[in-house]
A and B are shown apart, each in its own frame.
Chain A
Amino acid sequence: MYDVCIIGSGAGGAPIAYELSRAGKKVLVLEKGRYYTEKDFFKDELAVSRRDIYTPPLDEQQHVIETRNNDGEWEAIEGRKSGWNFWNGSMVGGSSNLMSGYFHRMKPNDFQPASVYPKIEGANVVDWMIEYKDLEPYYDKVEKVVGVSGHVVQHPFLEPRSSAEYPFKPTWEHPIAFWFDAACKKLGFYSIPTARAVLPYDALERKGCSYSNFCGSYGCATGAKGNARSALLDKALKTGNCTILSDSFVYKIESDEKKATKIYYYNEDNQSLHVEAKLFVVAAQAVESSRLLLNSKNSYFPNGLLNNYGQVGKNLIFSAGGNGEGRLRFEDLPKEKQDVLLLRGAFVNRSLQDWYEYEQDGQTIKGGTIDFLFEHANPTSRALAEVYDNDSNLIWGEKLQQKIKYAFMRSRKFSFEVFNDWLPTDDCFVTIDEDVKDKWGIPVGKIRLNSHKHDIEVGKVLAGKAVQVLKEMGAVEISTNISSAPPPNLVAGGCRFGYNERNSVLDRNCKAHALDNLYVTDASFMPTGGSVPYTWTIYANSFRVADEILKRFDNKEF
């Protein structure tokens, strides 16, 4: 029997495996996806970005997605038919392999949103059960163990830090970062160097960044990116106490009234096997963690495991916001700037958080973060972006070829991404669809999507600020896209932590209220998301939970 069985190997599961295996516990990690390492990662646009090889084919595994139709009624459609893909990074290390690695901590006020900010009608905002000071030591730990590079500068929303600086200097920065700094200075904005989970040089038994110009969506061929496998699981394996089984899909957790007893999974040969452990950790990403629990019905939990009060799957959240871009043209730039604009490989590494909170109509509004970057290097998507003229007519022939050539060789698009809170509501949740099954015959997750109109209002305010910077930098053809479209790679909620099982699923330490040895440590526990990408917080919280679990082992509670 294993001491710990972890379902999912990403940012939520890997810190538990790392800490417990180093403490001498026998750990098993089950991962649905394939076991890729650095030698399997290539900058292959067709495979990675056009064919999505790191997510399951939708005719084998899918979700059913519910959205409102034009009459305001909920309408469900299978992902296989719509092409809407809610998978993200199905492989050892999970989606952390594919992240861009923008690492931001949440702010102290993010942990008490219900107390600090005005109530918003229709939003299920609650305070967290922990405060920033509880998580700060673990944010700090992630910087050192996973590897975060950056540079601390003072700004009004800088969160308290126990280490004065990041342990690793920033990655090589593109000269445009300094143009950005100058524009912000003129506008009176605080230009912040963005911390990144990317090692600038060899460290932590990993190779440094190769500056290949392909981070987001791609696996890292050097191991510089702080993904859960290269940063944590590889080291867990070296202890001899950790076993990782890839191509292993967990479909059911068995329990009695007080404890989870075993899990069932399909291996690569579609054989159904089971495993027993003293303790179980679910970290399969928010949608799939809820789905697994809801599919694990038994006589004690007839509506799904931990779901006797109908809380599993509720209050699903994404990151709200959107993006925008502007074009920097050679003809608007002096010769020396033209020469450096096309420089490849370096990072932009700049953010704005001046409006993490802002005043509006006498109230303090929760705002968010804006990250700046170049448009993605993928050439196919860049060429496709040129196929319409200003009147939205499809163009071809010489006109299109001139436009593409200009876009690639005589200009460059500078972009931004807005991250603000996706308010939790009663109409955004996960259930299961008993009528639609995956290739193993297991009911698929059904995702109802709803965003609060406030999310878009905030996103637009932030996008407006980003546009000011782009204009100041001399960009033209500026466009913004703030929408209620949910980004599948920025999903959380579904198993909130809270004070009792009538309104939450997990306790303060992410242990199930209803079972003594079952934890959920991916982003499912988060009642709100803060206005930053989630990965750093998932890592930090998982390290925190690992400490709590170890205390229980020390006290011989398992």
Chain B
Amino acid sequence: MKRRKFIAYSVVLFSSTVFAKEINSYALHVTILKEPYQTISQVIDDLFTPSVGMPSPHSLNVVGFLKAVMRDKRVTKERKEFILNGVEWLNQTAQNHYIKNYIVLSSDQRQELLKKISQKQWGDNWLWYLMNYTFEAMFSDPVYGANIDKIGWQWLEYKPGLPQPPKVNRYV
């Protein structure tokens, strides 16, 4: 992280194009999802089905943000493994109850399953982390590639503090 911070700092000093690729690659827009992100994306959709004006997780680029979190050296390896392992545990629970993976369950079955796992310690923690990163995507500065066009802030009429970070001053 020290090194990456140094890179960002150097850009301010020297405006070098060498680093442009580096600083443009936090949350990329994701079009095709493979597992485990397909399941994670479905769970996030099930947790955050838009209502009362909330923008959809897709328009916020939540999954693109979460994939960036997996590359982020400031997020611990243990945390990343837990997020990914949760998909496996979710599917084990789905198989135990419905003999199917989560992704192919009906909407009602998926909601029922989310209720079941939320009563377990791992499930509560796992869902909490998915919410955590969804909120980070929703409220982070748009320079990180989520909260596109500030739609997360607009939903709640939230006014960010100033100055907001320009791209060259992103931490990664």
Contacts of B144 in A (CB 8 A): 46
Residue contact B131 to A396, C-beta cutoff 8 Å: yes
User: Which A residues touch B139, using CB under 8 A?
Assistant: 45, 379-380, 383
CB of A408 within 8 A of CB of B157, answer yes
Give the contact stretch, choosing among B34-42, B87-95, B97-105, B162-170: B162-170
A42 within 8 A of B: yes
Q: What is the number of residues of chain A that contact chain B, defined by CB distance less than 8 Å?
A: 48
Which residues of chain B in 58-97 are interfacial with respect to chain A, using CB atoms and an 8 Å cutoff? Answer: 72-76, 78
Chain A residues with Cβ below 8 Å from B138 are 379-380, 383
Distance (whole angstroms) from the CB of A87 to the closest CB of chain B: 12
* A466 to B14 CA separation, bound complex (whole angstroms): 51
**Are A409 and B157 closer than 8 Å at their CB atoms?**
yes
Q: B1 near A: Cβ within 8 Å?
A: yes
Within 8 A of A (CB), among B35-59: 46-54
Within 8 A of B (CB), among A363-399: 377, 379-380, 383-384, 387, 393-394, 396-398
Query: Which residues on B sit within 8 Å (CB–CB) of A409?
Result: 156-157
A254 contacts partner chain B, Cβ-Cβ < 8 Å? no
A44 at the interface (CB under 8 A from B): yes
Choose among A43, A83, A218, A402 the residue that contacts B52 (Cβ–Cβ < 8 A): A402
Q: Number of B interface residues at 8 Å Cβ cutoff, please give it.
A: 52
B113 within 8 A of A: no
Chain B minimum-CB-distance residue to A222:
B163
Closest B residue, CB atoms, query A50: B136
Residues of B within 8 A of A401 (CB): 48, 50-52, 54
Question: Are B141 and A46 in contact, with the CB atoms below 8 A?
Answer: yes
Chain B 6-49 per-residue mask, 1 if CB under 8 angstroms from chain A, else 0: 10010010000000000000000000000000000000001111
B148 within 8 Å of A by Cβ? Answer: no
The answer on a CB contact under 8 Å between B114 and A398 is no
B124 touches A394 (CB 8 A): yes
Q: Is the CB of A394 within 8 A of B170?
A: no
| Inter-subunit contact A212/B162 (CB<8 Å) | yes
A47 within 8 Å of B (CB atoms): yes
B158 within 8 A of A: yes
Residues on A with C-beta less than 8 A from B141 are: 44-46
Q: Does A58 contact B (CB under 8 A)?
A: yes
Give chain A residues whose Cβ lies under 8 Å from the Cβ of B47. Answer: 396-397, 400
Is A393 touching B118 in the complex (CB atoms < 8 A)?
Answer: yes
Contact mask for chain A residues 227-259; partner B; CB cutoff 8 A; 1 contact, 0 none: 000000000000000000000000000000000
**Least Cβ distance of B70 to chain A in Å?**
14
1/0 contact string of B123-167 vs chain A (CB within 8 Å) = 010011001100110111100100000000101111111111110
- Decide if A405 touches B76 in the complex (CB within 8 Å): no
> A33-65 CB contact bits vs B (8 Å, 1 = yes)?
010000111111111001111001111100000
A186 part of interface (Cβ distance < 8 Å): no
Chain B residues with CB under 8 Å of A44's CB are 141, 164-165, 169-171
In the complex, the answer to whether B165 meets A397 with C-beta atoms within 8 Å is no
A394, B118: Cβ atoms under 8 Å?
A: yes
- CB-based contact B164/A42 at 8 Å: yes
A405, B50: Cα distance in complex, Å: 12
Distance, CA A383 to CA B153, complexed state (A): 12
* Contact residues in A for B73 (Cβ distance below 8 Å): 57
- A497 near B: Cβ within 8 Å? no
- When distances are taken between beta carbons in the complex, the residues of chain B under 8 Å from A221 are 162-163
Closest chain A residue, CB of each to CB of B161: A43
Determine the chain B residues whose CB is within 8 A of the CB of A210 once the complex forms.
Answer: 162
A86 at the interface (CB under 8 A from B): no
Q: How far is the CB of A277 from chain B (nearest CB, A)?
A: 27
Query: Given A60-B2, A379-B158: A387 and B76 within 8 A (CB)?
Result: no
CA distance A213 to B2 in the complex (A): 28
For chain A residues 388-433, which have a beta carbon within 8 Å of chain B? 393-394, 396-398, 400-402, 404-405, 408-409
Closest chain A residue, CB of each to CB of B166 = A42
A404 to B, closest residue via Cβ: B156
* A339 nearest CB across to chain B (Å): 14
Least distance between B62 CB and chain A CB atoms (Å) = 13
Please, which residues of chain A bring their CB within 8 A of the CB of B53? Answer: 405
- CB-nearest residue of chain A to B171: A47
Most buried by A among B9, B73, B75, B162: B162
Question: Given A43-B160, A383-B139, is A57 in contact with B52 using a C-beta cutoff of 8 Å?
Answer: no
A62-99 interface mask toward B, CB cutoff 8 Å, 1 = contact, 0 = none? 00000000000000000011010000000000000000
Are B5 and A53 in contact, with the CB atoms below 8 A?
yes
Which residues does chain A contribute within 8 Å of B124, judged by CB atoms? 394
**Distance in Å: Cβ of A22 to nearest Cβ of chain B:** 29
Bound form: Cα–Cα A398–B78 in Å:
31
Is A169 an interface residue, CB under 8 A from the partner?
no
Q: A81-B78, A384-B135, A404-B156 are contacts. A42–B118 as well, Cβ < 8 Å? A: no
Residues from chain B with a CB closer than 8 A to the CB of A60 are 1-2
Interchain nearest-CB distance for B162 vs A (Å) = 5
Q: How far is the CA of A58 from the CA of B76 in the complex (A)?
A: 9
Interface presence of A168 (CB below 8 A): no
List, in ascending order, chain A residues with CB within 8 A of B48's CB.
396-397, 401
With A34-B5, A44-B171, A379-B139 as known contacts, state yes or no: A397 contacts B49, CB within 8 Å: yes
A380 to B141 alpha-carbon distance, docked (Å): 11
4 nearest CB pairs, A to B? A43-B161, A42-B165, A214-B161, A47-B171
Beyond A51-B172, A218-B161, A396-B131, 18 extra complex contacts between A and B, CB < 8 Å: A40-B12, A43-B165, A45-B140, A47-B170, A50-B140, A56-B2, A60-B1, A81-B78, A213-B159, A221-B162, A379-B153, A383-B135, A383-B139, A384-B132, A394-B118, A396-B127, A402-B51, A402-B52
Interface residues of B (CB under 8 A from A): 1-2, 5-6, 9, 12, 46-54, 72-76, 78, 114, 118, 124, 127-128, 131-132, 135-136, 138-141, 144, 153, 155-166, 169-172
Would you give 9 A-B contacts (Cβ < 8 Å), ordered by A?
A: A40-B12, A40-B169, A45-B140, A46-B136, A47-B171, A212-B161, A213-B159, A384-B131, A396-B47
